[in-house]
Structure 1
Amino acid sequence: MTDPQAETGPRSETDPQDAIDAAADAAGTDRDLRIHERTAGEVPDPGDAIPFIGAGPGDPGLLTVTGRELVEAADLVVHAGSLVNSELLEAYCADAERVSSVGKDLEELIPLMRDAHEAGRNVVRLHSGDPAIYGAALEQMDALEHEGVPTTIVPGVTSAFAASATLRTQLTLNGVANHVAFTRPQGTTLDPEDDHIGEFVGMGDVTTCIYLGTHAIPETMDRLLEDGHDPETPVTVVYHASWPDEDVIEATIATIGEAVTDAGYRASALVVIGDAARKTGYERSYLYGDWANRGSAATDGTDAGEADD
């Protein structure tokens, strides 16, 4: 195989931040022309682009069909370390070179993936959950695209959906929760003024799903209590949703902090605040009630089965 550097000479190293800034400037003026290149489920030809794949919440079976096809064909899998179940890596990419992204910055990751792609290797970037939810995928994609390496996204199952399945409930329930908020607590990454958990909880009909906040559960609940929120508001914590060691802790704003501390969990849990997690007090939907019959509409061939509640 021809060495691409032998033909073009040494590659200049581009600052990933420059690539991110350039992408942001372009997005402010022009529509991304790549939007219609392929659908989310379309499998790119091996070597055509580096796919950023959502590995799902943990269970190997929750990796999408498209994601599985791509990781099985990969020569190099750059993955999110222990956030991706080792059983998944062994099941679907045992023959590939596997590199954990933990502890590596963009200045190391981008040349690693770029050089492998340009050498003709099938490269996969495997994120936990779904890359769109706290995945930090776009900065990598923009940096790679700036280096002339095409990328694409394959969605995955985010942990909030796995937690909902474990709890045998819905995140939205008629008469209980009309909205869902994906959020994170204040800390090193998020300034206090950008922490809106209290606002979401205060709305009453919102299921608030807190990511990246296991370590901060006691402090977060203390702030909610200080802001005057009902201490009996239900809070459910699902640790390692869909993993073999999955655990569920049900408590309230007043008691969940101590319960999680006693369990020893400091990471990898999804926090759900609101009544939807307990399935209490919800109302029958219109979909399978009188609306579904609609008098003569039920006999005229009209499809009543796909409407929203």
Structure 2
Amino acid sequence: MEETTPPDETAETVTETEPKLRPDGGDPQEAIDAQGDRRREGLDDRIFDHNAGDEQDGIPFVGAGPGNPRLLTVAGKELLEAADLVVHAGSLVNSELLDEYCAHAELVNSVGKDLEELIPLMRDAYEDGENVVRLHSGDPAIYGAALEQMDALEHEGVPTYFVPGVTSAFAASATLRTQLTLNEVSNHVAFTRPQGKTLTEEEDHISEFVEMGDVTTCIYLGTHAVRDTMDRLLADDHDPETPVAVIYHASWPDEDVIVGDIGTIADKVEEAGYRASAMVVIGDAVTGAGYERSFLYGDWANRGSNDADEAESD
């Protein structure tokens, strides 16, 4: 799940309903494997029938956005307001959003529940004619573990689809009042996470991204590993003065911004006491200093009108 989260106690303000499950949910792993085989055979026909944002049949996997309820998309708001059952990501989703848009619906917290519980729950409700929404934090396409749920549901005959949300990196950029890409500063953006339980040392490419120089590196799910990450960057001889920002609970009421560099940010984060729920941004785009005027609004932009004027004068 995206890391824009408050402590778990925020979920206590929401009334939860224990799911009533049927025991015949099948084997989710078999379903995932079967859907994977299908994907190798060809693209889903629905890719050519629907655009993102279209009304579709099935269970929508909705991105709740980074935290602030106002950053929920219009499509997400409409689906939540019409929902009978909302399966949500616990404290990863702002309880204010649930109170505002889901108070009428049955709410089930997905935290601590495995696929063997979640799939029959959502399938049964959908087959009973209920409007079911699966609500993820941020955008479900970024570290959302959504596709395995969708594949398992599709294998059970329940159609699904994505409804995009605002990811936490974009909320962090807005908070910092800068762009993630800036002319002559950052031409690329990397969404990544540090090594740990689900990522081996060989799969951690943060140092490589920083080494490129013109990449803004956005680290999800890595607040607990800020010191380890910075120590590895220093060991790889990266400039200790490379800017770093840690945005805690981006767009939440208790949002906090810590700005430093590779050499100092770990001490600042540890002093603040944050171990989770923050976006780590590395690169010169953090400050926005030194960017050049883009071609879009320079001479290049006026090229067409100048050519037309010259042609008319001839």
The TM-score normalised by the length of structure 1 is: 0.91
Residues in 1 aligned to 2:279 and 2:268: alpha-carbon distance in whole angstroms:
14
- Contact kept, 8 Å, 1:241 with 1:247, in 2: the verdict is yes
- Judged with a 3 Å threshold, the aligned counterparts in structure 2 of structure 1 residues 121 and 296 are, in CA distance, closer, same or farther, namely closer
Residues in 1 aligned to 2:35 and 2:77: alpha-carbon distance in whole angstroms:
30
Out of 90, 99, 104, the residue aligned to residue 95 of structure 1 is: 104
Q: For 1:216-235, list aligned pairs within 5 A.
A: 216-235=225-244
- Contact kept, 8 Å, 1:234 with 1:250, in 2: the verdict is yes
- Contact kept, 8 Å, 1:80 with 1:128, in 2: the verdict is yes
Post-superposition offset of 1:31: 1.7
Partner of 1:211: 220
Q: For 1:177-196, list aligned pairs within 5 A.
A: 177-196=186-205
Aligned residues: 288
- Contact kept, 8 Å, 1:233 with 1:273, in 2: the verdict is yes
- Indicate the structure with greater helix content: 2
- Contact kept, 8 Å, 2:24 with 2:120, in 1: the verdict is no
In the alignment, structure 1 residue 22 sits paired with structure 2 residue 34: yes
- Contact kept, 8 Å, 2:25 with 2:119, in 1: the verdict is no
Partner of 2:52: 40
RCO higher in structure (CA 8 A, sep ≥6): 2
Partner of 1:137: 146
Partner of 1:267: 276
Residues in 1 aligned to 2:270 and 2:305: alpha-carbon distance in whole angstroms:
58
Partner of 1:200: 209
Q: State the one-letter code of the partner of 2:183.
A: N
Cα displacement string for residues 199-253 of structure 1 (whole angstroms, at most 9, x for unaligned residues): 0000000000000001110111111111111111110011111100011000011
Report the 3-state secondary structure (helix = DSSP H, G, I; strand = E; otherwise coil) of the residue aligned with 2:297.
Answer: coil
In the alignment, structure 1 residue 13 sits paired with structure 2 residue 22: no
Partner of 1:162: 171
- Judged with a 3 Å threshold, the aligned counterparts in structure 2 of structure 1 residues 150 and 292 are, in CA distance, closer, same or farther, namely same
Residues in 2 aligned to 1:178 and 1:13: alpha-carbon distance in whole angstroms:
46
In structure 1, stretches of 5+ residues that fail to align are: 1-9, 301-309
Post-superposition offset of 1:28: 1.2
In the alignment, structure 1 residue 243 sits paired with structure 2 residue 255: no
- Contact kept, 8 Å, 1:74 with 1:122, in 2: the verdict is yes
Residues in 2 aligned to 1:12 and 1:171: alpha-carbon distance in whole angstroms:
47
In structure 2, stretches of 5+ residues that fail to align are: 1-21, 310-314
Post-superposition offset of 1:109: 0.6
Partner of 2:8: none
Cα displacement string for residues 114-171 of structure 1 (whole angstroms, at most 9, x for unaligned residues): 0111111110000000011000000000000000001011000000000000111000
The runs of at least 4 consecutive aligned structure 1 residues that moved more than 2 Å come to: 10-13, 295-300
Post-superposition offset of 1:14: 1.3
Query: Between the two proteins, what is the percent identity of the paired residues?
Result: 75
**How big is the alpha-carbon RMSD for the aligned residues of Structure 1 and Structure 2?**
1.3
Partner of 1:303: none
Report the 3-state secondary structure (helix = DSSP H, G, I; strand = E; otherwise coil) of the residue aligned with 1:51.
Answer: strand
Deviating more after overlay: 113-122 vs 175-184: 113-122
Q: State the one-letter code of the partner of 1:114.
A: R
Post-superposition offset of 1:12: 3.8
Residues in 1 aligned to 2:275 and 2:113: alpha-carbon distance in whole angstroms:
22
Deviating more after overlay: 248-257 vs 21-30: 21-30
